[in-house]
Amino acid sequence: MKKQTKTTPVAVLTPTAAVHAGGFTLGLDLGDRSHYVCVLDAQGQIIHEGPMLNERVALALLLTRYPAATVALEAGTHSPWISRYLTSLGAAVIVANPRKLHAITRHERKCDRRDAVMLARLARADVALLHPLQHGSAQAQLDLLGLKLRDSLVRTRVNLINTVRFTLKSLGHAVANPSSEAFHKSILTAVPAECLPVVQPVLAVLALITNQIKTLERDLVARSKRDYPVTQRLQQIAGVGPLTALCFVLKIGEPTRFGRSRDVGPYLGLCPGRDQSGGTDKQLRISKCGDGLLRRLLVSAAHYILGPFGPACALRAYGQHLVGTSVREKKRAVVAVARKLAVLLLSLWKHGTDYEPRVPAAPTLVLVAA
């Protein structure tokens, strides 16, 4: 029976001058309070494994003992700041896509230790097996937080409005459906006097949320003009507002990361999945593997382009060509326009060109003599 190597917590490690030939490969399974680390030497042998605290001091001690190491970790809550911190200490950080690591997520005996070992071995064998992701800067993450908080407030407001409307409907009082911004004002005249004291606290909360949403929107629009001037170019497309343009710029980060502009569609999860084996080739639904907020904003812009107020352009003509009679076909057309819109946004940003809407020519009728 092989004797197991005794492990010690990394938090109490002291620097050492023992450096093995070649580089070290570290697998780091992240957690809220503590992480689990596995260290491989140049020959792929485990030379250390064990828990460590989720602190910058512990991470610094880890890289002091294993300098210039390659660190593999999964994308998660702590991966953005940890990857930036380890990179500043001289490590080569690989942020793995957890949706692609079925060898970890679907293991029949999944645990932190096995996850760390698998991350280290995959990083040592071939980085492409980890399907690495790229986190944005700290400032971009902070700016993106404002968009997500605004989205959370909007969803909360919708839930409160629906609660008030459905509750009053169950009491026999029909309530109109005005805009969300004016709901807390218009309902005052539509609610009977005996019901008003019950819904008044909710209306006060709705008024406060609406004011906070407006404040966040003003700050985000001003920030996009000041810090991200490229958003003004992207807003030349009808249906793309300042928030959609800002979210697109923050999530993409650097347009040159895509070799082809059409690669942004799969990145945002707007392309259908595929299950091909032998003679079968199934067309699946879209993967939804990208950022959910940006995908919703692009789909909302596609709805406007295909809607009654959308201007005549190539995007609108492309979507109308795909729209059928069934609801499923209409949804497919909206997703296809959203995917084309993402490609167009990236192309305008990448090449620095202005948007020129191309209005397709009307079909000509040819009269044939009898």
The residue type found at 141 is Q
SS3 272: strand
How does pLDDT run across 137-191, given as a tens digit for each residue? 899 999 999 999 999 999 999 999 988 888 888 888 777 777 888 888 888 777 7
Residue 277 within any structural domain of the chain? yes
Give the C-alpha separation, 174 to 318, whole Å.
Answer: 40
Among 64, 95, 130, residue at a domain's last position: 130
The answer to pTM > 0.85 is no
pLDDT reported for residue 136:
86
- Residue 9 — very low, low, confident or very high, per pLDDT cuts 50/70/90? very low
For tokens 């192309």, name the residue. 347
Residue 5 within any structural domain of the chain? no
How does pLDDT run across 195-214, given as a tens digit for each residue? 888 888 898 999 999 999 99
- 249 and 275 housed in the same domain: yes
CB 135 within 8 A of CB 84: yes
- 92 and 74 housed in the same domain: yes
Lookup: tokens for 31:
């957690």
Lookup: tokens for 168:
């009053």
- 153 and 195 housed in the same domain: yes
pLDDT reported for residue 7:
42
pLDDT reported for residue 363:
57
- 23 and 125 housed in the same domain: yes
- 124 and 67 housed in the same domain: yes
pLDDT reported for residue 13:
35
pLDDT reported for residue 369:
55
Residue 266 within any structural domain of the chain? yes
CB 247 within 8 A of CB 297: yes
- 106 and 153 housed in the same domain: no
Q: Domain residues for 27? A: 19-130
The residue type found at 132 is P
The answer on pLDDT for 370 being more than 70 is no
CB 183 within 8 A of CB 161: yes
- Residue 10 — very low, low, confident or very high, per pLDDT cuts 50/70/90? very low
CA dihedral 199, 201, 206, 209 (to 10 degrees): -170
155 strand-pairing partners: none
Helix (H) or strand (E) segment spanning residue 126: none
In the chain, how many domains are there?
Answer: 3
Among 130, 159, 185, residue at a domain's last position: 130
How does pLDDT run across 18-57, given as a tens digit for each residue? 333 348 999 999 999 999 999 999 999 999 999 999 999 9
CB 83 within 8 A of CB 95: yes
Residue 3 within any structural domain of the chain? no
28 strand-pairing partners: 37, 73
pLDDT reported for residue 278:
74
- 251 and 325 housed in the same domain: yes
Sequence-separated (6 or more) residues with CB below 8 Å from residue 193: none
Give the C-alpha separation, 242 to 217, whole Å.
Answer: 9
Residue 360 within any structural domain of the chain? no
pLDDT reported for residue 169:
83
Sign, CA dihedral 43-45-47-49, equals positive
- 344 and 287 housed in the same domain: yes
Phi (first) and psi of residue 309, to 5 degrees? -100, 0
Residue 30 within any structural domain of the chain? yes
CATH number at residue 73: 3.30.420.140
- 27 and 64 housed in the same domain: yes
What mean pLDDT is predicted for residues 1-14? 40
More confident residue, 192 or 6: 192
Residue 42 within any structural domain of the chain? yes
Lookup: tokens for 167:
């509750």
How does pLDDT run across 234-292, given as a tens digit for each residue? 999 999 999 999 999 999 988 988 888 899 998 898 888 777 777 776 777 888 888 89
Among 75, 101, 130, residue at a domain's last position: 130
How does pLDDT run across 90-138, given as a tens digit for each residue? 999 999 998 888 878 777 788 999 999 999 999 999 999 999 988 888 9
pLDDT reported for residue 360:
67
- 126 and 154 housed in the same domain: no
- 28 and 85 housed in the same domain: yes
Give the C-alpha separation, 355 to 357, whole Å.
Answer: 6
The secondary structure of 284-349, three-state, reads EEECCCCCHHHHHHHHHHHHHHHCCCCCCCHHHHHHHHHCCCCHHHHHHHHHHHHHHHHHHHHHHH
Concatenated DSSP letters of 214-239: HHHHHHHHHHHHHH-THHHHHTTSTT
How does pLDDT run across 312-329, given as a tens digit for each residue? 998 999 998 888 778 888
pLDDT reported for residue 361:
64
